[in-house]
Structure 1
Amino acid sequence: MCNLTLCVLLFLAASSSSSCPVHCVCETTIVNCVNQGLRSIPQPLPKDITTLNINGNDIRNLNNESFPSPLEHLTSLYVSGSQVEQLNTMVFANLPSLRFLDLSNNIIVHFSAEAFSQDNKVEVLNLSRSLYNYSYVGVFANLFKQSLPKVSHLDLSNNKLVLLPEGTFTGLLDLTVLDLRNNSLVSIMNGTFQNRALEELDLRDNALKDLPNGTLADLCLIPDLRVRLAGNPWRCDCNIEDMLIWLKRYDLVVDKLKITCSAPAGLKHVSLLQLKQYQLPCTYTGDLKGVLETSYVFLGMVLALIGVIFLLVLYLNRKGIKRWIYNIRDACRDHMEGYHYRYEINSDPRLANLSLNSDV
């Protein structure tokens, strides 16, 4: 009897150990496969797994074969720094309990808007340093609009984003934390931030020179919002006057004391809050001479183009123009001959009498 019990225990232990994938370390329900040079998701994964960490591998393509069987208890998935390029349709469909997804430090080129099931529960999504090229942000915009209704924390920092497509975050109704630090955003479109649940908005270290009035109004309508704006190259001229009033009136910006001017030169490094409205210049500081020279060159090019087109039209219609000139010449000749004939009649009395007799 004792031998039978021992055999059963050994069998269970062997079964338990065999459920842990090769090159991975399993601790209770946590599976770690970090920096193992893996090219795909290790298989088979334990059925009771709750956390999978496959950071630092070479898994370029995630598809519906990456998780071939349902993992009902998996809540956290780490795939950071794994050279991920493609995330295909329904790749996460067999992870119904997934709530935390880290895809940072990858080179994502394609992210299917149908990568998640419609009833997914993802709450935290880290896409920091994950975009291969900022032009692909439109793919993420479609993903945010259609597929992630439960996301509350979204990290898009360090992606060199220049512009955010209109309505990028409108589908994220539960969004509370949005990190857009260290991008290259040059402007914020009106209506970009209308998420009433938003609590943290980080816009530090971008390329913003001012914020449009529509954006200022949108931010005022979010009740518990805290915004960070330091580290941008703010241009302290009359275009930023409304933003200055907004900063002084509301306490939404937690780092407003750190907001400094980058231009014009006379106000560089000056705290924006220290300025009065009348101190904001409205003078043109560009190279006016260069602009005028460029304008003259452009005008000359336009006139030259018009001249070429005119000559081309003349050339293409040369036969018609020639015929038109001949017609005018003949008409003028006939007219002049009529005048000449009348002149000869009037100057010769005999012809004049003959003309009168012929009239009778």
Structure 2
Amino acid sequence: MPGGCARGPARLRLARLALVLLGWVSSSAPAPSAPWSPTAAPLPAHPASARPPPPGPCPAPCECSEAARTVKCVNRNLSEVPADLPAYVRTLFLTGNRLAVLPPGAFARRPPLAELTALNLSGSGLREVRAGAFAYLPGLRQLDLSRNPLAVLSPLAFSGPNASAAAPSTLAELILNHRVAPQVDEGDNRTFQNQSFEGTVASTLRAGRALRGLRRLELASNNLLYLPRGALAHLPGLRYLDLSNNSLVGLSYVSFRNLTHLESLHLEDNALKVLRNGTLEELQGLPRVRVFLDNNPWVCDCNIVDMVAWLKETEIVQGKASLTCAFPESMRNRALLQLSPADLDCDPILPQSLQTSYVFLGIVLALIGAIFLLVLYLNRKGIKKWMHNIRDACRDHMEGYHYRYEINADPRLTNLSSNSDV
């Protein structure tokens, strides 16, 4: 039939179109993914997202984390810095080792450790840090040298590869807390005991422009008796200074005038007895500073009148209400802010500690005297014999003088005495 014949080709065309559409859908659908296996080759990365070549291997005695950019070589008894540190390291821990000496170029590597920003060398037995030791660390920002028996810290330790003090270091934080007393080995010709740690630190801080970028300096728990003159003169950008838990008896040699950016000054747990007017004026002239003065043995006499008046007016001293007198005994534990000029006089009575010292000295002298008397008593016979011998010798000598006097006084014996030896 004509109508059936007409519909036949139409149906055939529709069937062919359906088959074409079905093939196109099946070819564009994603293929099912095969299960992952360790041996499966990774897909090639897009050129735009290509990664740098894989880093070098981790040193054998260390633990490395590429994700955290951290390398830890802790308590491994290392005598030198590992030579094969990975280039990606940003934080390096070398604590608890036996490095002893850090030579020039101790961190010189190829490729250089350009990413290293934090270096911890605390408790590594360091006695000597030589010139250029940190020269090849262009990005170093934080350095911890605490708990080391440091005897020599070269003023050029933070300078460039040519050991020149002209180029400033990138260092922003220097931590030198709790220095351990150095021990001199037998056969070591270098004498470290006569070198002052105060002088060593001052020489390092005054080394030209090397540490002009320093922002944080920690010198706590080092038994410092004083800070040498000009020790802080080349640190104009300093913001945090920790001098706590030392033995500072005064700040006469220290100048804070150029530390205009200083924000925190920690002077707790020292031996400060009074702050003089020059120091008070300099501290008051710093616009941002906060000062901490807790646990110092303040002597409340006529010399502290100006400091008490300054404390009542200033707002830069944190916790000033807790500051109390330590001497004299009659003023012990009295708050400095509650004192008036009438309460402060220079009483000649010594503090209790000095009184105790003099009593102890008297006891020692009395003991020495008793021992001396006991020795005399035990040797009384020998001493008596010695005294008799001295007496006899003196008597014979005096008799000889008396006899010569009688001869010289008698004119009849003048010629005889001149011609003969009587």
| Alignment TM-score, normalising by the size of structure 2 | 0.63
CA deviation vs aligned residue, 1:35-91 (integer Å, no higher than 9, x gap): 111111112111121110111111111112421223111000001111111100100
Partner in structure 1 of residue 117 of structure 2: 75
Q: For residue 239 of structure 1, give the secondary structure of its aligned residue in structure 2.
A: helix
Partner in structure 2 of residue 104 of structure 1: 146
Distance of 1:199 and 1:18 partners within structure 2: 42
Q: 1:234 aligns with which of 298, 301, 304?
A: 298
Partner in structure 2 of residue 188 of structure 1: 251
CA deviation vs aligned residue, 1:303-342 (integer Å, no higher than 9, x gap): xxxxxxxxxxxxxxxxxxxxxxxxxxxxxxxxxxxxxxxx
Q: For residue 196 of structure 2, give the secondary structure of its aligned residue in structure 1.
A: helix
Check if 1:62 corresponds to 2:62.
Answer: no
Q: For residue 245 of structure 1, give the secondary structure of its aligned residue in structure 2.
A: helix
Q: For residue 31 of structure 1, give the secondary structure of its aligned residue in structure 2.
A: strand
Partner in structure 2 of residue 41 of structure 1: 81
Check if 1:21 corresponds to 2:59.
Answer: yes
Identity across the alignment (%): 38
- Post-superposition offset of 1:285: 1.4
CA deviation vs aligned residue, 1:150-190 (integer Å, no higher than 9, x gap): 11110000000001100111100100000001000001015
CA 1:4 to 1:89, structure 2 compared with 1: closer, same or farther past 3 Å?
farther
Q: 2:314 aligns with which of 250, 268, 291?
A: 250
The answer on whether the counterparts of 2:105 and 2:134 sit within 8 Å (CA) in structure 1 is no
Q: For residue 130 of structure 1, give the secondary structure of its aligned residue in structure 2.
A: coil
Partner in structure 1 of residue 204 of structure 2: 143
Alignment of 1:123-134 (within 5 A): 123-130=172-179, 132=181
The answer on whether the counterparts of 1:22 and 1:42 sit within 8 Å (CA) in structure 2 is no
Partner in structure 2 of residue 316 of structure 1: none
Equivalent position amino acid for 2:299 in 1: R
CA deviation vs aligned residue, 1:220-274 (integer Å, no higher than 9, x gap): 1100110000100000001000000000011110021111100010010111111
Distance of 1:17 and 1:78 partners within structure 2: 22
Distance of 2:39 and 2:342 partners within structure 1: 93
Higher-Rg member (1/2): 2
CA 1:3 to 1:251, structure 2 compared with 1: closer, same or farther past 3 Å?
closer
Distance of 1:142 and 1:163 partners within structure 2: 14
Distance of 1:190 and 1:127 partners within structure 2: 21
- Post-superposition offset of 1:17: 7.6
Alignment of 1:1-360 (within 5 A): 19-28=57-66, 29-69=69-109, 70-117=112-159, 118-130=167-179, 132=181, 135-146=196-207, 147-189=210-252, 191-194=254-257, 195-286=259-350
The answer on whether the counterparts of 1:131 and 1:137 sit within 8 Å (CA) in structure 2 is no
Single out whichever of 188-197 and 87-96 deviates more from structure 2: 188-197
CA 1:202 to 1:3, structure 2 compared with 1: closer, same or farther past 3 Å?
closer
The answer on whether the counterparts of 1:190 and 1:212 sit within 8 Å (CA) in structure 2 is no
The answer on whether the counterparts of 1:191 and 1:218 sit within 8 Å (CA) in structure 2 is no
Distance of 1:106 and 1:125 partners within structure 2: 14
Structure 1 unpaired stretches of 5+: 9-14, 291-360
Distance of 1:92 and 1:123 partners within structure 2: 14
Partner in structure 2 of residue 318 of structure 1: none
Single out whichever of 174-183 and 47-56 deviates more from structure 2: 47-56
Single out whichever of 111-120 and 178-187 deviates more from structure 2: 111-120
- Post-superposition offset of 1:4: 11
Q: For residue 206 of structure 2, give the secondary structure of its aligned residue in structure 1.
A: helix
Equivalent position amino acid for 1:20 in 2: C
Distance of 2:105 and 2:61 partners within structure 1: 19
Instruction: Give the number of the structure whose residues are more often helix, by fraction.
Output: 1
Equivalent position amino acid for 2:73 in 1: C
Distance of 1:226 and 1:4 partners within structure 2: 62
- Post-superposition offset of 1:109: 0.3
CA 1:17 to 1:151, structure 2 compared with 1: closer, same or farther past 3 Å?
closer
Equivalent position amino acid for 1:155 in 2: E
Single out whichever of 126-135 and 109-118 deviates more from structure 2: 126-135
CA deviation vs aligned residue, 1:125-162 (integer Å, no higher than 9, x gap): 10001264782211211211222111111000000000
Distance of 1:260 and 1:268 partners within structure 2: 7
Q: For residue 101 of structure 1, give the secondary structure of its aligned residue in structure 2.
A: strand
Single out whichever of 148-157 and 132-141 deviates more from structure 2: 132-141
Equivalent position amino acid for 1:236 in 2: C
Equivalent position amino acid for 1:27 in 2: S
Structure 2 unpaired stretches of 5+: 1-37, 45-52, 160-166, 182-192, 359-422
Distance of 1:199 and 1:3 partners within structure 2: 58
What number of residue pairs does the alignment pair up? 282
